[in-house]
Structure 1
């Protein structure tokens, strides 16, 4: 996709392939990763990505234009905004915070380690149909010991060679269904509204492409759900914490 992109002022344009669609719009993780690509290319020598605030504003499909602008860059941190738009209008707006490590006497880490091990080499994994975004991933579910509105799933991209680690995490991190859907017996339309993700590790790595995803819906009422999300690498190290709001039409 990026190999065929066309350069634009402050970014680029590219086509969203049909196998990256989620219904009538591009998969949110892909759109977020495209926004990060434009943001990362805007400024030279950016420090590591620390945080992203993403608003899923409208549908994106076909040709999209991805642009980025610098909001501010100081001695330690850079704030960059990136937009993804299509013929239908603005579909995604993200604010990325890049920040260098600072000397500090403060060391505190109460984040829990991964509660389950990655899948063994002979594990039976799940791959979705190639006609949808889910076909780009390989999954391995853990169903024991979960709450009524909780997902826990190992995930990896089927094609991940040469991908920036943070772009990979954005693409994978949004791959779980909303946790509140486990409370409903029937399929209903839904839409992610936003996504706030903070990266704990400044240089995330994992083994064999596997990342553990967890999502727990804390509230769901009046068609609106708020959920907390966590990501770990294959060694069990916490990589990212996140929150997301989801509209559920049913």
Structure 2
């Protein structure tokens, strides 16, 4: 299997972007796994921006299938005193497939301190969490990640998903790129309560980073998504990510299309 670090190393890098082939082991149906596309867009943006402040926010739009031979490009949109905005997109022969906007910002002094992102009440500690059977995972997930259940079995029948997850490329990637690669690892939160399986597709993902230096024991992250809306083919879910010590690392919201 081709790991993400190998994908980056094999990319043909030109002045106007990177060219690469999406390995089949990273596909989720017709398109690359969303974390793959997000992490790739961030890696290209980091190169375009030179020496950047830490990533603090990302907007990620999954517009069309990302597969086969693709081109990744990025552009600095604005360079301010404290923050830099960079856009990135992935395209194929059929046109643009994925678009991203990233904000990189240096820490600044402020008088307000709020940190109210506690761990979910029923989280299973990492050391006690059971591995998810390989046959219950998608091909890309069992090929590139280690995954454990993050909540008791009795709690897995709500519009909620919670897993412990680690990239097998841990330690071989930029920490923010590794975080983006892992951050979209959960299936949509509404899956446990759906009456029957239907095709689904992520459409838009907003991520806010709560730290400039994401770190966790042995590369493990706790991911949680909670569905709060599903009507007329659209669903919305809140998302959170913590490290193995229970410290909040990222928060977000995602829209997911339900085709049935």
* TM-score tier (shorter): over 0.9
Contact 2:126 2:244 survives alignment (8 Å): no
Select between 156-165 and 41-50 the one with higher mean Cα deviation.
156-165
Contact 2:224 2:241 survives alignment (8 Å): yes
Contact 1:10 1:38 survives alignment (8 Å): no
Q: What is aligned with 2:43? A: 37
Contact 2:226 2:239 survives alignment (8 Å): yes
- Displacement of 1:45 in angstroms is 1.5
Aligned to 1:179, what secondary structure does the other structure show? coil
Q: 2:160 aligns with which of 145, 150, 153?
A: 150
Aligned to 2:39, what secondary structure does the other structure show? helix
- Displacement of 1:161 in angstroms is 3.0
Q: Output one character per residue of 1:159-192: Cα deviation in whole Å (capped at 9) or x when no partner.
A: 3232111111111111111111222132210110
Residues in 2 aligned to 1:129 and 1:224: alpha-carbon distance in whole angstroms: 25
Q: 1:184 aligns with which of 194, 211, 214?
A: 194
Q: 1:230 aligns with which of 214, 232, 240?
A: 240
TM superposition score normalised by structure 2:
0.90
Q: What is aligned with 2:85? A: 79
Q: 1:198 aligns with which of 181, 189, 208?
A: 208
Contact 1:67 1:82 survives alignment (8 Å): yes
TM superposition score normalised by structure 1:
0.94
Residues in 2 aligned to 1:175 and 1:124: alpha-carbon distance in whole angstroms: 15
Residues 124 and 25 (structure 1), Cα distance of their counterparts in 2 relative to 1, 3 Å cut: closer
Structural RMSD (CA): 1.9
Select between 239-248 and 141-150 the one with higher mean Cα deviation.
141-150
Residues 124 and 43 (structure 1), Cα distance of their counterparts in 2 relative to 1, 3 Å cut: closer
Residues in 2 aligned to 1:122 and 1:22: alpha-carbon distance in whole angstroms: 25
Residues 119 and 192 (structure 1), Cα distance of their counterparts in 2 relative to 1, 3 Å cut: same
What aligned pairs does 1:78-227 form with structure 2 within 5 A after superposition? Answer: 78-113=84-119, 115=121, 116-120=123-127, 123-127=130-134, 132-135=139-142, 136-141=144-149, 142-143=151-152, 144-145=154-155, 148-227=158-237
Q: Output one character per residue of 1:84-130: Cα deviation in whole Å (capped at 9) or x when no partner.
A: 11122211000000000001222222221354354228944444689
Q: 2:255 aligns with which of 242, 245, 250?
A: 245
Q: Output one character per residue of 1:189-235: Cα deviation in whole Å (capped at 9) or x when no partner.
A: 01100000000011010001110000011000111000000000000
Contact 2:54 2:104 survives alignment (8 Å): yes
Gaps of 5+ in 1: none
Gaps of 5+ in 2: 1-6
Contact 2:58 2:206 survives alignment (8 Å): yes
Residues 160 and 89 (structure 1), Cα distance of their counterparts in 2 relative to 1, 3 Å cut: same
- Displacement of 1:140 in angstroms is 0.8
Q: What is aligned with 2:64? A: 58
More helix by share: 2
How many residue pairs were aligned?
250
Residues in 2 aligned to 1:209 and 1:131: alpha-carbon distance in whole angstroms: 21
